[in-house]
């Protein structure tokens, strides 16, 4: 992989100024290792709004012009999913590093193609799984890795709200990348099987609620509930380990709560004769430092470009997330049948 | 069906004085139409504890003696599930009305057999699905039936706790009857299909967590999460209807909360071009009268015996609940495959 | 003080079988060092209800008979406040140890008289400040005494509910003993001054809401809000110390929450020039063992009788509590003026 | 009062660009009837930050220049309290309308002087009591005025947090204006008496916690708890009326909760013989429209200037708030004695 020489800031172009793009521009201005130089969108008024606020940033409606610009080291793509592959592929072919909003691409074929292109060119390809940079998610990762939680028995998570339907994708493609990337990061493994039940309540054909079951090779099982239709916002994830249990609620002032509780397995010889006992201990809400995940994520992108490191939100992880969504879609197409999550070819070699 | 003549209280025997039996005895003393006359258990100390408190009640270790007693009109059975069928069948053959704790029996064959026996003898057979008599469940039933909630899109429910493992049954047989009976009562239909994922975290082979997906003929879908392993008690059911949404939490001082919120479908012609809009309105916690569900349930049992009516917790509903659990078990045996819920023979005629 | 010889259980009489009396009888049956022998009430049906449940206990309508009974070592008085002094005094004169429900007496003169009587006779006199035996209150006492909380800056407490008005006493006499006894126990000191604002909202002349300010010799200040008129039950006490802060909520499943937070005083030299900084740390809900405070309290009563020890809920503490209520009444009589809390004579010597 | 002719937007100058000033500038840009033309601060970098973002706004370090500018109709002052009077007085003398952040001035003399100046000149003087424009406060005002809550028995409010100490003022001057202005607005009357207890926990001499009791002429009583030292943010106000009760929590997603509960007064003849009964009904969280209070407040300022109307946050209300704070200070100086709230001279005429 080609690392940039020296400590020069990475000169970044942002393509796509819809809902999320302006946040990316704002954070890029705060990351010391980044220098936002150009923004690109088809709508002139979206460009004007940004360039008025940031006079040092140039606006253009031509993506080709961005790719031809030698003053651009890297692009950040925040367009609808269907545009991810063509725009990222063109950028990689033009020798630019690529950050693309989640999900990485609209299919695993497309995602694998981008990975191959980036590998061949020695360029960074990074999907924007921002939650991997949020302090609660990182803290729980540490607790899992250190063994503090013990064996992870199961994870149950709900991400529901009365929110905007996306007209072009299902709730699994819209909200699923959040939970799937977090699970992949925490557990360090991709599920072997998935099954799902969904319904298009408002628009038949566009699932707006989904109940997804996942099985992991290690034995961990997980349930993911996703919905655009719910009486109140709920972001609740329960992780049950053999030593401790954790509740993670992104909307709470105490986002992580650690329960020192569990079942105590009786002596195997007497097993079945005596009842299990339960241990209930203290509950701790660890203090979380305030840090904007998006800032951290873009910092990681620039560090990867400058140092040739693999970002936490890696392209491989992004591909696994797409495979998980595809397995959910396959299950839904097969009336909820349990489906294998596709295995990467290179894993089979 | 043979109704009892006159207004004489129903003379009741209670068999099984474990955890739940004494509650039944206490409530039978408060129901005006019931007269508890005898309690039966193999353990003499359990009998003594009851007869000391209720000197008018006789104790016996012989169930045969109870069945032979002409002074007993009806039995209440609160023994482990495996004893439900033999004890209930013997009682029906002896001409006694039967109330049996949930689930009605250990298999749908057993349950159907009891229903046939009761039908032939013109006796009441009633499973103890107590939640059907709790004020919040009844209030939500009224809201569904009156159309206040609109079409029921989906139901999502969690019943989890760090609680006692049952050594003889799975979490689906232990906790499932609660949610399955409530869903059957609310929706007035039995699911057509079920699929499930579970794990025996503590005792391999005994599922202590289960994620269950249910599909109903009307289109309603439901998810039921059951667990004996969880950091804190959670009894949360969300009902999402086309008009209103309801959150039911049995542990809260406000067990029912009604959300006057929903998605507003745009004009079909312009569909897809415009975004959906969302309506957010008042939230109401209706006042619930305090009433002991078990008292109401036993009152319903006695009314059915005296008047020949069908109790709300009917034997048919009890059979459907057993069929739902069996479908869950079938799915688990088939690695989570989607299974049909067996259809009653009479429905096929 | 006269300790009882041997390990013989203390033979106890309970006088007053209203709301609280039956709880006392039930717990006395469970305390190994107590033997409830007789219950006394003017209402025969109240006596019958108890003696039916506890055949070994005798019932009587004559308090004189109880006092004359050599088989009675100690009495437990659970009658209206106005009866506390005459009944306790008679018992002490008859050579019986006395436990009397809170508050100890209807005035500090009465309370001091009882203390003198008990002292002269070498008998135990104990007021029933049950909260001093509840695990959360005890845990917080440990944290204060060990210095874990640092200097106690202030305490703010609310005890409100939509509850039964007492027709004979004010909300200060009804609910005040709870918070006043807890504060006296935690802080180990009696306030020097009190001021109060109250209103008789429903019955003019009977305060049903009171806002009470207390100043302690050490510098700690406290606010106590008491009300029979409130939209929902609230039992919330905040203790702010220089090192840590605690929230105690008796109605919560996590009754004690410890906040490792505080203000960090800047260097005195630069004081005023720099802003204070704040430290925010972990929040811990320590596990509380389940223990019935009333059981522990009666156990302490019997231990005091048998061993001559001073019970945690001592008669001195009971007297201080009465003095605090009297200071509140004085302030209310003087339109909310700040009043001194009377100092015990012996403290002046 | 001199109303501005036509519909020309009010040309506004903002003086003071500390914490709050930039919010005022941003909102003035959104109010259609306002045209922010100049900002004034002694710090050039604060001016630059604003003028970079809003190129149409001029920056100056000279307040005199602002007052001499004929292109300025009105000033908005957001400086420390000690500067309120001199800056507002100078502006009024220069013929400018004045909006000044709360509290209106550092003493009631100063506030009264400003009112007189504004009255003489026919100019608008408005203190920035922003909470009067927040939807929950306005909704509760409607409920009180319509009689829905009945007679207001009492109000209890807590505004506490682990927050920044102000080095120049006490917690009563810093946080008190919020609750005092809300109470004045809701109840339509100024308290007759106040008493208070406070402590300077961190900096002796600077009260950082205060417990304030207020008595209103109508009989309503109120308690206000203010603190910069508390384990967690609490903004909880309880309003107890004879018909309904309300809990207002500014930090909640359901900021207003209406409890249809109360005590039912028994028949006066039988009074004292029978116990009170309690009515517990539904709880309603009315939907609140999202509206930025600061926007509404500035809109009201411009409307008053253009139409000569009296703004909701009137200078008279601002003076009453200062009088309430002064009464608290007097009580604190007199060791918590109950003090009269000064009566406006014109009320005595």
- Contact call for A280 and C287, based on CB within 8 A: yes
Interface of A with B in 92-151 (CB under 8 A): none
- Contact call for C282 and A285, based on CB within 8 A: yes
| Residue A232 with chain B: CB contacts under 8 Å | 247, 259
- Residue from D227, D238, D243, D272 whose CB has the most chain C CBs within 10 Å, to mutate: D238
Distance of alpha carbon C279 from alpha carbon B324, whole angstroms = 54
Cα three-residue angle B218-B224-B228, rounded to 5 degrees: 165
> Among residues C313, C252, C312, which one has the least CA distance to residue C286?
C252
| Residue D160 with chain C: CB contacts under 8 Å | 238
- Contact call for A287 and C284, based on CB within 8 A: no
Q: What is the ipTM of this complex?
A: 0.92
- Contact call for B223 and A195, based on CB within 8 A: no
pTM of the shown model = 0.93
Q: What six digits make up the tokens of B27?
A: 């409530």
Distance of alpha carbon C20 from alpha carbon B86, whole angstroms = 46
CB C115 within 8 A of CB C230: no
pLDDT in tens, chain A (349 residues): 444 555 799 999 999 999 899 999 999 999 999 999 999 999 999 999 999 889 899 999 999 999 999 999 999 999 999 999 999 999 999 999 999 999 999 999 999 999 999 999 999 999 999 999 999 999 999 999 999 999 999 999 999 988 766 667 899 999 999 999 999 999 999 999 999 999 999 888 889 999 999 999 999 999 999 999 999 899 999 999 999 999 999 999 999 999 999 887 666 555 444 467 788 899 999 999 888 999 999 999 999 999 989 999 999 999 999 999 999 999 999 999 999 998 755 444 3
CB-based contact (8 Å) between D223 and chain C?
yes
Q: What six digits make up the tokens of C85?
A: 């002094």
- Ordered DSSP codes for B189-244: S--SEEEEEEE-SSSTTS--EEEEEEE-TTS-EEEEEEES--SS-EEEEEEEESS-
CB C59 within 8 A of CB C51: yes
Q: pLDDT-derived band of residue C264, with 50, 70 and 90 as boundaries?
A: confident
Q: pLDDT-derived band of residue B329, with 50, 70 and 90 as boundaries?
A: very high
Q: Summarize the confidence of residues C280-295 as an average pLDDT.
A: 93
| Residue A223 with chain B: CB contacts under 8 Å | 197, 211, 223, 225
> Among residues A295, A185, A301, A163, which one has the least CA distance to residue A248?
A185
The predicted pLDDT at position B1 comes to 40
Task: Note the pLDDT tens digit of each residue in C1-19.
Answer: 444 555 799 999 999 999 8
Whether the pLDDT of residue C149 is over 50: the answer is: yes
| Residue B53 with chain C: CB contacts under 8 Å | 53
| Residue D286 with chain B: CB contacts under 8 Å | 282
Distance of alpha carbon D225 from alpha carbon A244, whole angstroms = 39
Interface of A with D in 241-260 (CB under 8 A): 253
| Residue D235 with chain A: CB contacts under 8 Å | none
Q: CA D136: distance to chain centroid? A: 14
Whether the pLDDT of residue B205 is over 50: the answer is: yes
The predicted pLDDT at position B240 comes to 97
Whether the pLDDT of residue C168 is over 80: the answer is: no
Cα dihedral across residues A325, A326, A327, A333: positive or negative: positive
| Residue D253 with chain A: CB contacts under 8 Å | 232-233
CB-based contact (8 Å) between C277 and chain D?
no
Closest CA in chain D for residue A49:
D53
Whether the pLDDT of residue B255 is over 70: the answer is: yes
Q: Which of D281, D285, D286 sits opposite B287 (nearest CB)?
A: D281
CB-based contact (8 Å) between A285 and chain D?
no
> Among residues A109, A113, A108, A107, which one has the least CA distance to residue A98?
A113
Task: Note the pLDDT tens digit of each residue in C107-130.
Answer: 999 999 999 999 999 999 999 999
Q: Beta B34-40 vs B125-128: how paired, if at all?
A: unpaired
**Closest approach of chain B CAs to the CA of D252, in angstroms?**
13
CB-based contact (8 Å) between A284 and chain C?
yes
- Residue from A278, A284, A288, A289 whose CB has the most chain C CBs within 10 Å, to mutate: A284
| Residue A281 with chain C: CB contacts under 8 Å | 287
Count Cβ atoms below 10 Å from residue D179 Cβ, excluding itself. Answer: 24
CB-based contact (8 Å) between B280 and chain C?
no
Q: Beta A339-340 vs A256-259: how paired, if at all?
A: unpaired
C-alpha torsion angle, residues B122, B128, B130, B131 (rounded to 10): -90
Which residue spans within chain C are E strands per DSSP? 10-15, 34-40, 58-60, 74-77, 97-101, 125-128, 152-160, 193-199, 209-215, 221-227, 234-241, 245-249, 256-259, 262-264, 277-279, 283-285, 339-340
Interface of D with B in 195-214 (CB under 8 A): none
Q: Which of C153, C230, C265 sits opposite D199 (nearest CB)?
A: C153
| Residue D280 with chain B: CB contacts under 8 Å | 287
**Half-sphere exposure for B47 (CA within 13 Å, toward CB):** 17
The predicted pLDDT at position A239 comes to 98
Helices (H) and strands (E) in chain C, counts: 10, 17
Q: What six digits make up the tokens of D153?
A: 């028995």
**Closest approach of chain C CAs to the CA of A152, in angstroms?**
23
Closest CA in chain D for residue B280:
D287
Q: Beta B74-77 vs B97-101: how paired, if at all?
A: parallel
The predicted pLDDT at position D273 comes to 46
- Contact call for B229 and A213, based on CB within 8 A: no
Cα three-residue angle C5-C6-C11, rounded to 5 degrees: 80
CB-based contact (8 Å) between D338 and chain C?
yes
Q: Give every residue of chain D whose pLDDT is below 50, as ranges.
A: 1-3, 271-274, 346-349
**Closest approach of chain A CAs to the CA of D52, in angstroms?**
8
Per the rule left: phi > 0, alpha: psi between -120 and 50, beta: everything else, B174 is alpha
CB-based contact (8 Å) between A232 and chain D?
yes
> Among residues C109, C170, C117, C144, which one has the least CA distance to residue C248?
C144
Mean pLDDT (chain C, rounded): 92
The predicted pLDDT at position C121 comes to 97
**Closest approach of chain B CAs to the CA of D257, in angstroms?**
9
The predicted pLDDT at position C289 comes to 86
Distance of alpha carbon B316 from alpha carbon B184, whole angstroms = 11
Q: Which of C53, C233, C253 sits opposite B53 (nearest CB)?
A: C53
The predicted pLDDT at position A1 comes to 40
Chains that touch C (3 or more CB pairs under 8 A): A, B, D
The predicted pLDDT at position A294 comes to 97
| Residue D232 with chain A: CB contacts under 8 Å | 253
Q: What percent of chain C has pLDDT over 90?
A: 83
Place of tokens 């190994």: C32
Q: What percent of chain B has pLDDT over 90?
A: 83
Interface of B with C in 51-90 (CB under 8 A): 53
| Residue C53 with chain B: CB contacts under 8 Å | 53
- Contact call for A283 and C281, based on CB within 8 A: no
Which positions ≥6 away from B131 have C-beta within 8 Å? B137, B178, B181, B182, B293
Q: What six digits make up the tokens of C225?
A: 């809000």
Distance of alpha carbon B171 from alpha carbon B201, whole angstroms = 11
The predicted pLDDT at position A47 comes to 96
Chains that touch D (3 or more CB pairs under 8 A): A, B, C
CB C197 within 8 A of CB C232: no
| Residue A197 with chain B: CB contacts under 8 Å | 195, 213, 215, 221, 223
CB A173 within 8 A of CB A165: no
- Contact call for B164 and A209, based on CB within 8 A: no
Closest CA in chain D for residue A254:
D232
> Among residues B28, B5, B4, B72, which one has the least CA distance to residue B297?
B28
Collapsed DSSP state (helix, strand, coil) of residue C281? coil
CB-based contact (8 Å) between A1 and chain C?
no
- Going from the C-alpha of D49 to that of each of A25, A30, B343, D44, D210, the distances in angstroms are 18, 16, 73, 9, 37
CB-based contact (8 Å) between A290 and chain C?
no
**Closest approach of chain A CAs to the CA of C275, in angstroms?**
20
Whether the pLDDT of residue B36 is over 80: the answer is: yes
């Amino acid at each position: 992989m080609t690392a940039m020489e020296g400590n020069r800031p990475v000169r970044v172009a942002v393509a796509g100024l819809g809902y999320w793009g302006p946040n990316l521009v704002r954070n890029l201005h705060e990351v010391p290792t980044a220098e936002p130089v150009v923004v690109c969108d088809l709508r002139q008024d979206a460009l004007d709004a940004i360039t008025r606020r940031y006079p040092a940033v140039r606006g253009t409606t031509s993506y080709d012009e961005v790719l031809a610009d030698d003053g651009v080291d890297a692009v950040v793509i925040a367009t609808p999913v269907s545009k991810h592959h063509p725009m990222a592929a063109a950028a990689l072919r033009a020798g630019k590093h690529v950050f693309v909003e989640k999900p990485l691409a609209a299919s695993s074929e497309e995602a694998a193609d981008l990975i191959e292109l980036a590998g061949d060119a020695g360029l960074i390809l990074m999907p924007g799984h921002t939650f991997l940079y949020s302090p609660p998610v990182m803290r729980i990762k540490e607790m899992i890795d250190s063994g503090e939680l013990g064996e992870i028995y199961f994870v149950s998570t709900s991400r529901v709200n009365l929110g905007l339907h996306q007209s072009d994708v299902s709730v699994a493609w819209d909200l699923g990348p959040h939970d799937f990337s977090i699970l992949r990061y925490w557990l360090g493994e991709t599920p072997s099987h998935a099954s799902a039940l969904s319904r298009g309540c408002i628009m038949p054909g566009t699932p707006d609620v989904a109940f997804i079951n996942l099985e992991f090779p290690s034995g961990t099982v997980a349930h993911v509930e996703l919905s655009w239709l719910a009486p109140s916002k709920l972001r609740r994830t329960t992780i049950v380990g053999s030593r401790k249990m954790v509740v993670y609620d992104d909307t709470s002032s105490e986002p992580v709560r650690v329960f020192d509780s569990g079942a105590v397995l009786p002596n195997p010889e007497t097993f079945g004769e005596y009842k299990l006992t339960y241990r209930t201990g203290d509950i701790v809400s660890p203090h979380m430092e305030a840090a904007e995940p998006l800032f951290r994520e873009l910092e990681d992108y620039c560090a990867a470009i400058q140092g040739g490191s693999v970002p936490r939100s890696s392209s491989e992880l992004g591909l696994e997330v797409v495979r998980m969504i595809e397995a959910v879609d396959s299950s839904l197409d097969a009336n909820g049948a349990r489906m294998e999550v596709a295995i990467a070819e290179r894993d089979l070699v």
